Amino acid sequence: MTINKQILLGVSGGIAAYKSAELVRLFKKQGAEVQVVMTKSAMQFVSPLTFQALSGNPVHSELLDADVENAMGHISLARWADCLIIAPATANIIAKLSHGIADDLLSTLYLAATCPVYVAPAMNQAMWNKAVTRENIETLLRHGVKLIGPEQGDQACGETGFGRLSEPVVICKHLTDALEYQNHSPVQCLQGLKVLISAGPTREPLDPVRYLTNRSSGKMGYALANAALKAGAEVTLVSGPVSLTAPNNVQLIKVETARQMYDAVMSKASEHAIYIGAAAVADYSPVVMQPEKIKKQDAQATIILQKTKDILADVAGLDKRPFTVGFAAETHNLEDYAREKLIRKKLDMIAANWVGQEQGGFDSEQNALHVFWKSGDKTFSMMDKTQLAEQLISLIAERLKVS
Ligand code: C5P
């Protein structure tokens, strides 16, 4: 795979700056042209000469340098870039970017850039977990910046936790996938097709005031609905109870229980070219819903549950079946369970993701996926769900064509 693109790499001042040298090498190996911008503190960790030698271009660091401004000033550098990636991104640069502060070349370039921007954070785990950093990251995500990492593990400071810069190969793969996706412009890749998506949790009532549910926020399913619309599809969204606003131009069917979701999906499935089961459907529901509030009595209480009907498997079993995509959220043995479900439920594709971990999964803005189909698989590293949904829709469109 090649990246025939012009990549502007911003390096800010963290111990992980040395890893960016490897990043330049990997980008170049993929055919990219690379220009490097360093902050003052980055230059205390790694010499600009290293980046100059690896990129084959002079390193930029001054905002107001008359010579540099004439040659490649901040506006022309920003215009030159097909994408801007900041790796490592310190808590400081993240704070500046999220607030529009432009007091050096890198932060000014960010403001001037109209290309996609990627940020690969690297910092001590306490700094990463600090409320203000979390807010700054959320702000950047809202502003359309794409996040790569950080990863969990041992840190240079001797602590363990989230904050490690993603490995250069991971960052490079993430960018290659994203740029490849831009190349094959997914825009309108589902033009004229009808896509049915189920999203969110279900609620299984015990009595008039209580129900069983799960942690699903519906974010992935709603992001998929948006991405399918963007790709030109006509979208029907069957949604469990969530606090999200559905896009205006989808046909929205609101449901509560697994049974209601089953009925809604089954009545629509055959009219659609694609079904994506992104909902976290309850596997069991109470055998009886008590008509009156259950009273507190004994020290222990028993609820008898019965298995719900498997929507995904039944859609895949229809005579006139859509291209059927399932999700597998697992806390262990991810790959084995996902492959087993793909076969048992006779799916065309399954997107597996870890849940119960610190990063990604339910209610998170981000997720990572490992997608399987009969003859292949593809991994998507941790990224925001909007971006992930667009890439997954692109992959579905690609697989649909050859199925
Ligand atoms: O078997 P498991 O519940 O782990 O499979 C997850 C996938 O199956 C998800 O795509 C989910 O939407 C779907 N599912 C379903 N009906 C159920 C349970 C799960 O469609 N009753």
For residue 312, the CA-to-ligand 1 centroid distance in Å is: 6
Give the model's pLDDT for residue 68: 57
CA of 277 from ligand 1 middle (Å) equals: 7
Atom 9 in ligand 1: which residue has the minimum CA distance? 327
In degrees and rounded to multiples of 5, residue 316 shows phi and psi of -65, -20
Residue labelled with tokens 């996926």: 369
Ligand 1 closest atom vs CA 350? 10
User: Residue 302 CB: number of other CB atoms within 10 A?
Assistant: 6
Q: How far apart, in Å, are the Cα atoms of 254 and each of 5, 201, 202, 245, 308?
A: 44, 11, 11, 12, 18
Q: Is the pLDDT of residue 62 over 60?
A: yes
> Pocket around ligand 1: residues whose beta carbon is below 6 Å from it?
258, 277, 279, 281, 283, 308, 310-312, 326-328, 341
Chain centroid to Cα 322, Å, comes to 25
Using the mean position of ligand 1's atoms as its centre, give its distance from the Cα of residue 216 in Å: 13
Q: Which amino acid is at 109?
A: L
Residue whose CB lies within 8 A of the most ligand 1 atoms, among 204, 238, 255, 281, for a mutation test: 281
Res. 348 pLDDT band, cuts 50 70 90: very high
Who contacts 255 (Cβ-Cβ below 8 Å, separation ≥6)? 202, 238, 239, 240, 261, 264
Dist. CA 75 → ligand 1 center (Å): 50
Name which residue sits closest to atom 13 of ligand 1, judged by CA: 312
Distance CA 316, CA 151 (A): 36
Is pLDDT of 391 > 80? yes
| Cα of 218 from ligand 1 centre, angstroms | 14
Q: What domains appear along the chain, each with residue ranges and CATH number?
A: 6-183 (3.40.50.1950), 186-402 (3.40.50.10300)
Residue to mutate, 312, 325, 331, 353, ligand 1, most ligand atoms under 8 Å from C-beta:
312
Mean confidence (pLDDT) of the chain: 91
> Which pTM does this prediction carry?
0.69
Q: According to the model, what pLDDT value does residue 67 have? A: 62
Give the 3-state DSSP-derived string for 195-208, with helices as H, strands as E and coil as C: EEEEECECCEEEEC
Higher-confidence position of 157 and 134: 134
Pairing verdict, β 83-89 and 117-121: parallel
CA of 65 to the centre of ligand 1 (A): 59
What span, in angstroms and rounded, lies between the C-alpha atoms of 349 and 346? 9
For ligand 1, mutation pick of 260, 276, 311, 392 (most atoms within 8 Å of CB): 311
- 3-class secondary structure per residue, 103-147: CCHHHHHHHHCCCCEEEEECCCHHHHHCHHHHHHHHHHHHCCCEE
Atom of ligand 1 nearest to the CA of 328: 6
pLDDT tens figures, 3-55? 778 999 999 999 999 999 999 999 999 999 999 999 999 999 999 999 999 99
User: pLDDT tens, 72-121?
Assistant: 677 888 999 999 999 999 999 999 999 999 999 999 999 999 999 999 99
pLDDT above 70 coverage of the chain, percent: 94
Backbone angles phi, psi at 185, to 5 degrees: -10, 105
Q: What is the pLDDT of residue 183?
A: 58
Residue nearest to atom 19 of ligand 1 (CA): 281
Q: Which residues pair with 384 in a beta bridge?
A: 366
Torsion of CA 111, 113, 118, 121, to 10 degrees: -30
Q: What pairs with residue 10 in β-bridges?
A: 37, 86
- The C-alpha atoms of residue 214 and residue 281 are separated, in whole angstroms, by 9
Q: Tell me the pLDDT band of 177, cut-offs 50, 70 and 90.
A: confident
Tokens 């502003």 sit on residue: 143
pLDDT of 71 strictly over 60: no
Query: Within a 10 A sphere around the Cβ of 89, how many other Cβ atoms?
Result: 30
The pLDDT > 90 percentage for the chain reads 73
Predicted pLDDT at 21: 97
**Rounded CA gap, 32 and 170, in Å?**
16
Judge contact between 235 and 211, C-beta under 8 A: no
- Out of 260, 262, 305, 310, mutate this one to test ligand 1's pocket (max ligand atoms within 8 Å of CB): namely 310
In whole angstroms, what is the distance from residue 365 CA to residue 369 CA? 13
Residue 382's H or E segment, with its range, is: strand 376-384
Which atom of ligand 1 lies closest to the CA of 325?
10
- What are the Cα distances from residue 326, in Å, to 5, 275, 312, 379? 34, 8, 7, 15
Active site residues: 157
Collapse the DSSP code of 38 into the 3-class scheme (helix H, G, I; strand E, B; otherwise coil) and give the result.
Answer: strand
Q: What angle do CA 30, 72, 2 make, to 5 degrees?
A: 10
Q: Show the tokens assigned to 155.
A: 């840190």
Long-range contacts of residues 229-232, Cβ cutoff 8 Å, at least 24 apart: 230/186, 230/187, 230/390, 230/393, 231/186, 231/187, 231/188, 231/189, 231/190, 231/191, 231/390, 231/393, 231/394, 231/397, 232/187, 232/188, 232/189, 232/190, 232/191, 232/192, 232/193
Instruction: For residue 345, report the distance from its CA to the centre of ligand 1, in Å.
Output: 9
Residue from 148, 146, 93, 83 nearest 113 by CA: 83
